[in-house]
Amino acid sequence: MKRIACVLPAVLLLAGCPEREPLALSVTAMVNPLDGCIFSSGAPRNDTAVVDLVSNYHGVLSGFEFQNLLPSSLTVSSLSNEAGQLEANNLQLTGALITYRLPDALSVSLPDHFVPTGQVIDPGAKAVTSVETLPAHLVQLLRRDPFFLAEREISDPVVAECLASRALSREDAFPRLKDVPRVGRSADILVNLQLEGITQSGVQVLSNDFQFTIRVCVGCLVFPGADATAYLLAREEGLTFCSADQQAVCRYGANGCEEQVNCIDRYNDTDQAIAEKLLKCAEDTTFPNTNLAGYFHPLCKDMPAGDSGFIGARYQHLACLYGLEKSNAYCASSDILLFPPQE
């Protein structure tokens, strides 16, 4: 297939284009979505997308304004005008090539990818197309990068004592959660987008290279202070921390309220290895020690008495504490809310 990135005013030579000839297809701006997640020409412009690794599991969708710079018709031939063919310069957009340049702090590599799209635009006209500039599977790669991860000590005193008392090694004596999001960390990824289109006669047209930034952060979009315990207590009372922002879902790939809820529900569980240790603590009538015997948690309540008849209830209490420990660790938010403003 023939490919061009420039246009000759009268005769289109398919063999090549002189330097500094005008583009046939031009990307002019990245735009924000309007109500209903609609990207349209003339919408507010932006030069940075944001993805929060705590809350975003859907990827990033961006809108781009572009223009067909071809004249309404063109004689296409390397011969005389009389022997040429008239080319109607409607362009069909076929897709976008996305490439990334990552900072040295990140270990992960993001592969180039092509995003198919279909849209017909008349000569001289402007239009807007939406492109998945950071797919969900690439967000998952970033989520596992060591730059964004850390270990975190178990903070709940009852859970910490239980797991330490059942430790099988010196390292297990100081229980920690691994691969916890390192709240407050961020990195800027430079993204290059080039649109591709095709004319009615089958000539492939390339746009200019359009560059913008995707800021990858940890916890900058979720509502600050809304830890798992506070959220679940509020949900029991029918309360919410913030109002939903539909534009935030489109613009940032996540809504600070709803996505944190999903995160809490996702991590509020107990894996088998931990469950076995919690069960042993529940069966131990001497656990917990005297200092923690009166420990009260606002959501999981107090620890049932150390009696064999309460083993099931004691285990559920410990599982509740551990689930909240995980939720608070993996669904944390930064102290300062950067994006977007919440009511």
pLDDT, tens digit, 9 for 90 and up, residues 310-329? 888 888 889 989 988 888 88
Residue 262 within any structural domain of the chain = yes
On the question of pLDDT at 122 being above 80, the answer is yes
Following DSSP, what letter does each residue of 211-243 receive, concatenated?
EEEEEEESSSSSPTT--HHHHHHHHHTT--SS-
Strand partners, 180: 150
pLDDT at 230: 75
The owner of tokens 């807007």 is 128
In the numeric block, the tokens 């609609």 are attached to 38
pLDDT of 205 higher than 50: yes
Strands, E assignment, 135-283: 149-153, 176-181, 186-199, 204-206, 210-217
Give dist(CA 174, CA 163) in Å, integer: 8
CA angle at 62 for the pair 58 and 66, rounded to the nearest 5°: 155
**287 domain residue, yes or no:** yes
- 109 is a domain residue: no
Higher pLDDT, 303 or 154: 154
pLDDT at 33 over 80: no
pLDDT tens per residue, range 206-255: 999 999 999 998 877 765 555 777 777 777 777 765 555 555 556 555 55
The pLDDT value given to residue 48: 80
234-242 contacts: CB < 8 A, separation 24 or more? 242/342, 242/343
Question: Contact at 8 Å (CB) between 53 and 139?
Answer: yes
Does 336 fall in a domain? Answer: no
Q: Between these two residues, 317 and 138, which has the higher pLDDT value?
A: 138
C-beta separation of 215 from 186 below 8 A: yes
Classify residue 248: in a domain, yes or no: yes
Q: How high does pLDDT run on average in the chain?
A: 77
Expressed in angstroms, the distance from the first to the final Cα of the chain is 53
Quote the CA–CA distance of 25 and 7 in Å, as a whole number: 10
Domain count, the chain: 1
Residue 252 lies in a domain: yes
Burial of 20 (0-12, 13-18, 19+ CB in 10 A): exposed
At 276, list the tokens.
């076995």
**pLDDT for the residue numbered 234:** 75
Question: What's the rounded Cα separation, in Å, for the pair 265 and 286?
Answer: 32
Closest CA to 177 of 195, 159, 158: 159
17 C-beta neighbours (distance < 10 Å), count: 17
Query: Distance of alpha carbon 291 from its chain centroid, rounded?
Result: 43
Place of tokens 């349209």: 40
- Rounded to an integer, the average pLDDT of 159-168 is 85
227: tokens are 């830890």
pTM given for the model: 0.73
Question: Which residues are bridge partners to 119 per DSSP?
Answer: 93
Q: Residue 189 domain-assigned?
A: no
Residue with tokens 């200092």: 291
More confident residue, 281 or 12: 281
Task: Tell me whether residue 299 is in a domain.
Answer: yes
The strand order across the sheet containing 126-134 reads 45-46, 25-31, 60-68, 126-134
**pLDDT per residue over 273-320, tens digit each?**
899 999 998 888 888 776 666 677 788 876 666 565 688 888 888 998
**Residue 265, φ and ψ in degrees, nearest 5:** -65, -35
Name the residue range of residue 264's domain: 157-178+222-330
Token couple for 207 = 């746009």
Cα torsion for 18, 23, 24, 30, to the nearest 10°?
160
Range 137-159 average pLDDT: 91
Q: Which range in 5-14, 21-30, 189-198, 296-305 is most confidently predicted, on average pLDDT?
A: 189-198
Q: Which residue has the higher pLDDT, 287 or 131?
A: 131
CA distance 106 to 186: 10
